A and B are shown apart, each in its own frame.
Chain A
């Protein structure tokens, strides 16, 4: 069974600070996706990284896929209260259904 360990589970910081969320696994994934989820809603896709070592930027968010395609990170620069939410990483299995294996999520709170 593939597992994806996401850390930290909870993070509360002040507006303007930087932060990094990590996802680690012993398994190789075909791609890794980051989602953001609001209470009572489904996850919304932020980015997909496919190639080992790939870096993608989305405004103040930087996503990186590890060289071995086993881990990923999300870095937010100058966090804003609007960044508050649940962030989920999900690795797509290489074979078969290519179903997603999710981390436990990071509950992020940005205080004004």
Chain B
């Protein structure tokens, strides 16, 4: 296991369509985060899982967004009825609860373009 993996790397979709992204964290990491990054900005927190439990969601996460981590391993982020404002880089990060510090490692991201 060499790091956090995200799929797909790029997604172009028409407005109104649904999209789903996948994140495979570092295998021993029990914490998983989703962030969103728009051009010229730092990443913004979307949601957090500890094992399979979704423990925190940002107010940025509208009702059209849903995330799951069914077995405490990989996670999916679904966006329903996409809007042009959803265009961004979606980043997944993982870390280990119980470690000495809170180092988080990021995947390569999924670049979403809504046309």
A44 to B91, CA, bound (A): 12
Q: Which residues of B contact A (CB under 8 A)?
A: 4, 6, 31, 33, 35, 40-45, 48, 50, 55-56, 91, 93, 95, 100-109, 111
Q: Are A102 and B101 in contact (CB under 8 A)?
A: no
* A21 is an interface residue with CB less than 8 A from chain B: no
Total contacts A-B at CB 8 Å: 76
Closest residue of chain B to A98 (Cβ to Cβ) is B102
A43, A96, A97: the one within 8 Å of B91 (CB): A43
Residues of B within 8 Å of A6, CB to CB, are 42
Most chain A C-beta atoms within 10 Å of own C-beta, residue among B50, B91, B104, B109: B104
Q: Are A99 and B42 in contact (CB under 8 A)?
A: no
Q: Are A42 and B109 in contact (CB under 8 A)?
A: yes
